[in-house]
Chains A and B, each alone.
Chain A
Amino acid sequence: MENRLRLFLLSAALFGPIAPPGVVLAQSPTQLPGEEEPLFQPQVERRTVDISALDTENFEIGPFLGFLSIEDFGVNSVAGARLSYHITEDFFVDASLGVSKADKTSYELLSGAAQLLTDAQRDYTYYNVSLGYNLFAGESFFGARRAFNSALYLLGGIGSTEFGGGDRFTASVGLGYRFIATDWLAIHVMMRDHIFQHDLFGVDKTSHNFEVQSAIMFFF
C-alpha cells in the first residue's frame, strides 16, 4: 500500500509536468469540427495564356504603281514601295519610297532648244513617313453574295523629295481606300498631294504634285 502510494506520487511527480500537454495534444484534433476530407481537391490552377506565342500581323508591305503629276513637268508614271505598321485599329504609320521621272515643261517643248534641267536632274525620288487614320471601316458589297472588308484612311506626313538637283522638304496629305481581299492581302487606291518649294524658275514657288497610286500590300 505504501509502495503503491509512493509509486503513484513518483509517477505523478515524474509525468505530471509532461502529462497535461500530452492530454491537450490528444484532445486537439488536426481537423476543425465539421471538416472532413473532401471527395476531391478542387485544383484551381492559375492559368495564364501566353498570347505572345500568337502570330501578330501588324505590318503591311507591298509595291505600288501610279501616276504623279509633277507641277510644270507633266504627268508621269511613279513606282515604289510602302510599309505600314498598325499601331491600333485606328492609327497606323506608313513609310513610302517612290521613283518617277519628269517630262519637259511646255516652255522647253515650245522653245525647242532650251533645257531647264539636265537628264539626271529630272529624276524624281521621294520618301516620306506619314501617320494614317482609318475612317469608315466596314464592308463593301460585291454583288449580292460577297462582301469584303474595307476602310478609307487619311494620311499626313513629312519627307524629302530629290528633284531638280536638290533635296526638298516635302509635306504630304492623302486619302486612300483599303480593300481587304483576304486575311493577308489588301489592295489600296490612294490619292496624295506632295507639297514642296523650289526655285527652278528663278522665283520661289510652292509646287503641288498630285499622285494617284494603287498598291498591293501583304500583311505579316
Chain B
Amino acid sequence: MQFRLVLILCGCLVSGQVVGALGEIAVEIADPYIELHTGPGRGYPVFYVVERGEQITLLKRRTDWFQVRTARGKEGWVYRDQLARTLNPDGSVVAIRDPSWEDFEARRWEMSFSGGEFDGANVIALTAGYALSENLSLELNYSKVLGRFSSLDMTGISILHQPFPEWRVSPFFTLGTGSLKIKPAATLVQPQDRDEDYSNVGIGIKTHLSRRFLMRIEYKSYVVFTNRNENEEPKEWKIGFAFFF
C-alpha cells in the first residue's frame, strides 16, 4: 500500500513539476481530511473538505496559507499545519521551509526600519545589512533627522558585531562613518545647506520575534566633524523592526 503511495507520489511529483511549470506541486493527502478556506486567513469560512487519499495541487503560498486545487477543480486555501501532516505519506512531518529560529541564525540579508530621537529631534532610519559571518555584518544606513530648525540627511556605512548571535536577545556593537547634509528650515533667515562628516559608535540588542521578524533597539554616540573649532557630539536612540531574508 505504502509502496503504491510512494509510486503515485513520485509519479505525481514528476508530473507536477513537468506540468506545473509555474512551480505547482502535486501531493496526496495523508490526514483524514483537510479543510479548504475561501481565503488565506482564519476568519475566512471553510467551504470544502478533501478526504484522505485524494490528490491536490499546491498552487501558491501567502504567509502561512497555501492555495490548493483539488482533483475536481475546487480551489481554496489550506493552513500550513494541516498540510504539514499531509505532504509526507510515511507519517513524518515535512519541513516546510520557514524562517524559524534556525534560519534566523543563518540569515544573510536584513532590512530594518526604525524611529527614535537624535539629539532631541526625531529621527527615522532605514538600514540594509549583509551578514559576512554569524558575528559580523556590514550595514548601509540612511537616516533622516527632523528637527525644529533643520533637517539632516545622513548616509553612512557601519560594521556590526554580534558576540552571541544564538541568544534570543542578542547584544551587538556598531562602528560607523558617513556624511550628513544639514538643511535649515525655510522659516529661518538665509538658510544655507551644509555638509559634514561623522563617525559613530553604538550598542544595541536584537530580538527575534517571529518568522522573518526582529526587533532592534540601539543607542549610538556620534562625532560630527565640523569645520568650526569644536566637534558636535549628538546621541541617538532608536527602536524599530527588521526583516531578514
**Known pairs A46-B90, A49-B94; A54 contacts B61 (CB<8 A):** yes
Instruction: Say yes or no: A89 contacts B65, CB within 8 Å.
Output: yes
Q: From the candidates B3, B23, B63, name the one contacting A89 in the complex (CB within 8 A).
A: B63
| B94 / chain A contacts, CB cutoff of 8 Å | 47-49, 51
Q: What CA separation (Å) do A53 and B27 show in the bound complex?
A: 14
Instruction: Say yes or no: B22 contacts A55, CB within 8 Å.
Output: yes
| A169 / chain B contacts, CB cutoff of 8 Å | 121-122, 124, 146
Instruction: Say yes or no: B41 contacts A131, CB within 8 Å.
Output: no
Instruction: Say yes or no: A89 contacts B41, CB within 8 Å.
Output: yes
Tell me if A132 is interfacial: C-beta within 8 Å of chain B: no
Query: B18 CB to closest chain A CB, in angstroms?
Result: 13
Tell me if B96 is interfacial: C-beta within 8 Å of chain A: yes
> What 0/1 pattern do residues 219 to 235 of B give for CB contact below 8 A with A?
00000000000000000
Instruction: Say yes or no: A137 contacts B210, CB within 8 Å.
Output: no
**Known pairs A46-B90, A139-B45, A166-B151; A219 contacts B62 (CB<8 A):** yes
**Known pairs A45-B6, A46-B92, A121-B186; A51 contacts B39 (CB<8 A):** no
Tell me if A147 is interfacial: C-beta within 8 Å of chain B: yes
Size of A's binding interface in residues, CB under 8 A: 49
Q: What CA separation (Å) do A180 and B25 show in the bound complex?
A: 25
| A166 / chain B contacts, CB cutoff of 8 Å | 151, 183, 185-187
Instruction: Say yes or no: A87 contacts B38, CB within 8 Å.
Output: no
Tell me if B89 is interfacial: C-beta within 8 Å of chain A: yes
Q: What CA separation (Å) do A136 and B96 show in the bound complex?
A: 28
Tell me if B109 is interfacial: C-beta within 8 Å of chain A: no
Instruction: Say yes or no: B44 contacts A158, CB within 8 Å.
Output: no
Instruction: Say yes or no: A137 contacts B187, CB within 8 Å.
Output: no
Query: A72 CB to closest chain B CB, in angstroms?
Result: 15
Query: A31 CB to closest chain B CB, in angstroms?
Result: 22
Instruction: Say yes or no: A137 contacts B62, CB within 8 Å.
Output: no
Q: From the candidates A57, A134, A138, A159, name the one contacting B61 in the complex (CB within 8 A).
A: A57
Q: What CA separation (Å) do A147 and B17 show in the bound complex?
A: 33
Query: B47 CB to closest chain A CB, in angstroms?
Result: 10
Instruction: Say yes or no: B64 contacts A51, CB within 8 Å.
Output: no
CB under 8 Å from chain B, chain A span 81-123 = 85-89, 93, 121
Tell me if A151 is interfacial: C-beta within 8 Å of chain B: yes
Q: What CA separation (Å) do A112 and B212 show in the bound complex?
A: 56
A-B contact pairs, 11 of them (CB 8 A): A42-B3, A45-B10, A49-B96, A54-B24, A86-B62, A88-B210, A89-B63, A129-B113, A149-B38, A158-B124, A169-B122
With A44-B6, A51-B97, A56-B61 already in contact, 7 other A-B pairs whose C-beta atoms are closer than 8 Å: A45-B6, A54-B59, A88-B64, A89-B40, A137-B43, A164-B186, A183-B67
Enumerate the 4 nearest inter-chain pairs by beta-carbon distance, A residue then B residue, closest first: A165-B186, A137-B43, A169-B122, A169-B146
Residues of B within 8 A of A (CB): 2-3, 6, 9-10, 13, 17, 22-25, 27, 38-45, 58-67, 87-90, 92, 94-97, 113, 115, 121-122, 124, 144, 146, 148, 151, 183, 185-187, 210-213, 241, 243
